[in-house]
A and B are shown apart, each in its own frame.
Chain A
């Protein structure tokens, strides 16, 4: 009879094993630091360089002519919102729709073709996408426009959102779909109200990643939205955008413009963070719920 209170002696862990354990932990922690360091450095430097040039004028005024002090990037902030709005309206439904197709119906060669195309499109340099926007919209309309910029950015969003949506939908267990089929719910209804609903937070992450990526794109806007010194809210007119304005100011020879470029970059990052956070909070509160 063994005494239940006497536990078998734990074998002592050898020094070597403890050292390897410590080393592995240190390497993992070091990697985290290495990854975070550039991020913190960039943001810190932006605040350091840009915060000084930030003031009410910067946020409410349009740029002043060369040589005059003051002025701001209000029209570029508004223009960026307009272009990103157009891009999201076009790109998000298209990307999610294509992702649903791939996950729920795209088993055969046609699905593979779309998947391959999306992956290739993801790797196309953004300047090339700018040229596409230029040739299909600017050339046919005979002028630069916010719409052309929006379309170019939408093309960049679609493959990211498509693949993210597909992957998130495929993570939803088949048993959850079967539960809905078993209740006599039609397939399309199951896809929208059950599968997509279950994957909502993952899909939103994909959309936000795509959004954050295109928000800072400059190259596709160079010959689509083109830029503008003045306010413009019409989608068929050349429109200012933050990345364009930052680019123009950063390569200029004027110190004043350099400072404004830093401030513009800081605003751009803050806008992205605000947009992503707002959508996350909205999603968490259930405002993006599908129709059950």
Chain B
């Protein structure tokens, strides 16, 4: 089941440049929350702070309190522990090129020492089914490499790979921006189904996408969270002038 995320006074830097300024946000469990805003506003940095990926960039650091369920991720736990609870799907599909489809999905478990083959078979099938890819790859699980699939299939493979470690939260950083409309549609459909079991945070450039998939939307500008509310409120009756300017296409 998904868990809620509690963000309090989160600040993040790249070297001496502050990328996020005092962000506080309550992300509801088992819902999709969209993060929108113009390029360079800190959307990606924000979600990368939710699974401590931000700190993998040399010179980058983050401060503040982020609780995922009952886990305070910046205090008393390791980054690898956090990332096993918080799955991530990236902008560009990034399957492991030398791994078969099966091994791509099983990678998170195998590389963390999970060896039970029968359980692995079950988890791989279940994850691929959840990612709506099973029927397309069931005959080539071990024959084909992950990179031999089409772009849209690769992205669903990456979703299956993230689901296989049974996370509580799924972060998606513009998961459909490199895909064609049909593949994008499939990913969006998927987000609807995944909400039942996971808390989803999705960064998107596409405002129609945000309004289609997310119950809540946060608007970021220059590293600040300008407005955070129910999606329909953000898109129909925003409280802040800057939000209105952005969603009506006056800038960004």
Binding site for B on A (CB under 8 A): 107, 173, 175-176, 178-186, 189-190, 193-194, 197-198, 200, 292
A173 to chain B, nearest CB (A): 7
Given the known A-B contacts A185-B80, A193-B111, A292-B107, are A179 and B94 also in contact in the complex, defined by CB atoms under 8 Å?
yes
Rounded to whole angstroms, the CA-CA distance of A153 and B131 in the bound complex is 52
Contacts of A190 in B (CB 8 A): 111
Binding site for A on B (CB under 8 A): 51, 53, 56, 58, 79-85, 87-88, 90, 92, 94-99, 103, 107-108, 110-112, 158, 161-162, 165
A105 to chain B, nearest CB (A): 11
Contacts of B94 in A (CB 8 A): 173, 175-176, 178-179
Given the known A-B contacts A178-B53, A179-B90, A184-B81, are A200 and B98 also in contact in the complex, defined by CB atoms under 8 Å?
yes
Pairs A–B under 8 Å by Cβ, sample size 8: A175-B92, A175-B94, A179-B96, A181-B53, A182-B53, A185-B108, A190-B111, A198-B96
Rounded to whole angstroms, the CA-CA distance of A190 and B111 in the bound complex is 8
**A186 and B90 within 8 A (CB):** no
Q: Work out how many contacts link A and B, with CB atoms closer than 8 A.
A: 76
Contacts of B98 in A (CB 8 A): 197-198, 200
A22 to chain B, nearest CB (A): 38
Contacts of B90 in A (CB 8 A): 175, 178-179, 182
**B99 and A292 within 8 A (CB):** yes
Choose one: B58, B95, B111; the contact of A183 (CB below 8 Å): B111
Contacts of A194 in B (CB 8 A): 96, 107, 111
Rounded to whole angstroms, the CA-CA distance of A150 and B107 in the bound complex is 39
A280 to chain B, nearest CB (A): 16
Choose one: B58, B83, B161, B165; the contact of A181 (CB below 8 Å): B83
Given the known A-B contacts A175-B90, A181-B53, are A292 and B83 also in contact in the complex, defined by CB atoms under 8 Å?
no
Given the known A-B contacts A175-B90, A178-B56, A292-B111, are A183 and B162 also in contact in the complex, defined by CB atoms under 8 Å?
yes
Contacts of A197 in B (CB 8 A): 96, 98-99
Known: A183-B84, A292-B110. 6 other contacts (CB 8 A): A176-B96, A176-B97, A180-B107, A182-B87, A194-B111, A197-B99
Contacts of A176 in B (CB 8 A): 94, 96-97
Closest to A195 in B: B96
Closest to A200 in B: B98
Rounded to whole angstroms, the CA-CA distance of A194 and B81 in the bound complex is 19
**A292 and B103 within 8 A (CB):** yes
Rounded to whole angstroms, the CA-CA distance of A194 and B98 in the bound complex is 8
Rounded to whole angstroms, the CA-CA distance of A184 and B103 in the bound complex is 16
Contacts of A182 in B (CB 8 A): 51, 53, 83, 87-88, 90, 162
Contacts of B161 in A (CB 8 A): 179, 183
Closest to B91 in A: A175
Rounded to whole angstroms, the CA-CA distance of A44 and B95 in the bound complex is 46
